[in-house]
Amino acid sequence: MSQGGMPWPGERARVPVGAAYDVVIGHDLLGAVGELLPPTAARALLVHTGRLPGVVAAVRESLVGKGIRVVDGLVPDAEAAKTIEVAARLWEVLGRESFTRTDVVVGVGGGTVTDLAGWVAAAWLRGVGFINVPTTVLAMVDAAVGGKTGINTAEGKNLVGAFHEPLGVVCDLDVLGGLPEVDFAAGMAEVIKAGFIDDPLILEIIEADPGAARRVGSQTVELIERAVAMKARVVSADLREAGLREILNYGHTLGHAIEQHAAYAMRHGEAVSIGMVFAAELAHRSGLIDDVLLQRHRDVLGSAGLPTRYADASLEELLVAMSRDKKTRGSTLRFVVLEGLAQPTRLIGPSSELLSAAYAGLG
């Protein structure tokens, strides 16, 4: 049920974190985005890249239908949106338009847009409401859910940000129809991650039908809902990443380092796919998992068209970026690994010999 009491069409996962919010998954949902608005809102900053004019128009119409004055916040595409300069420009707009604590920010787009919109909302007047309308698989299952917001710096990805929960998240699967297969699959890397760390049925669905990880189909609602439900469970138990939530970073320590080294030219999901294989290599060489589970990583990710090998940088180059990872404590690297299927744990301070051997396994 939305905040306005309107029954939502389609599937729905409820994320009970703090002031609990809905993650709504289904079809033909854009016209109901306005239902998530607080009754006191008078203005909305609509943050988007301009690449999906039909989607933006539908969201704008839904907001206007609730009597909201909508202000456009056009931003660059991809990681170029997640800079302090872009955020500052949006804050200037909020100031000029006299946005108050009862007004809202609405992010329509991929994960970079929802990350940015959430950070802008978190910092303005020390926190105003925001709504996420993710338009990619990656944003639906990862960036738009869980209350993490942030921007990048030259030193690394997502190093500046805040925990700030949305008023709601609307995942309209109709917007995925025009998504290129390579982008759909990259988003599915985060769904597959959920399968390895928590919900093996996700892996079974994809193993039975690898096409489900490449394009919208009959399994899409279930795959996305399962990934969102997994993240909801983890975030509900650990909003601020004090312990359990760290498991969501499976594959991300090396993945973020690869992204930074590639100047964000590689898709996030592709980098995380490589990072998961690296984590599996670390676990295998530490005696935590067997050959079968290691190979299952390569098989499932490869069947989705995701990369499982990497040789475009030296380990030494990537270690510089990994040393700035948010999970690092002092000079000690920490990796999320498995000690069995759906049994995540932490590998703290692996030796240089283990790191080198695992990285060689990616070659």
d(CA 260, CA 155): 8
Q: Out of 214, 268, 297, 334, pick the active-site residue.
A: 268
81 labelled ligand-binding: yes
In the residue annotation, 148 being an active-site residue is answered as yes
259 labelled ligand-binding: no
d(CA 217, CA 227): 16
Q: Out of 164, 214, 245, 327, pick the active-site residue.
A: 245
With vertex at residue 194, the alpha carbon angle to CA 190 and CA 198, rounded to the nearest 5 degrees, is: 170
222 labelled ligand-binding: no
In the residue annotation, 261 being an active-site residue is answered as no
d(CA 241, CA 115): 17
Q: Out of 148, 261, 327, 334, pick the active-site residue.
A: 148
Question: First-to-last CA distance in the chain?
Answer: 49
Q: Out of 85, 126, 329, 353, pick the active-site residue.
A: 126
136 labelled ligand-binding: yes
Q: Out of 12, 48, 60, 231, pick the active-site residue.
A: 231
In the residue annotation, 249 being an active-site residue is answered as yes
79 labelled ligand-binding: yes
327 labelled ligand-binding: no
The answer to whether the CB of 146 falls within 8 A of the CB of 120 is no
In the residue annotation, 326 being an active-site residue is answered as no
In the residue annotation, 353 being an active-site residue is answered as no
88 labelled ligand-binding: no
Q: Residues with Cβ < 8 Å from 58, sequence gap 6 or more?
A: 30, 31
Other C-beta atoms closer than 10 Å to the C-beta of 308 total: 17
Give helix 291-303 / helix 200-208 axis angle, nearest 10°.
60
In the residue annotation, 152 being an active-site residue is answered as no
Q: Out of 190, 225, 246, 281, pick the active-site residue.
A: 190
270 labelled ligand-binding: no
Q: Out of 214, 256, 285, 296, pick the active-site residue.
A: 256
78 labelled ligand-binding: yes
252 labelled ligand-binding: yes
Q: Out of 60, 225, 249, 267, pick the active-site residue.
A: 249
What phi, psi does 291 have (nearest 5°)?
-60, -35
d(CA 234, CA 147): 12
Annotated binding residues for NAD(+):
77-82, 135-136, 148, 157
Annotated binding residues:
77-82, 135-136, 148, 157, 190, 252, 268
The catalytic residues are 126, 148, 190, 231, 241, 245, 249, 252, 256, 268
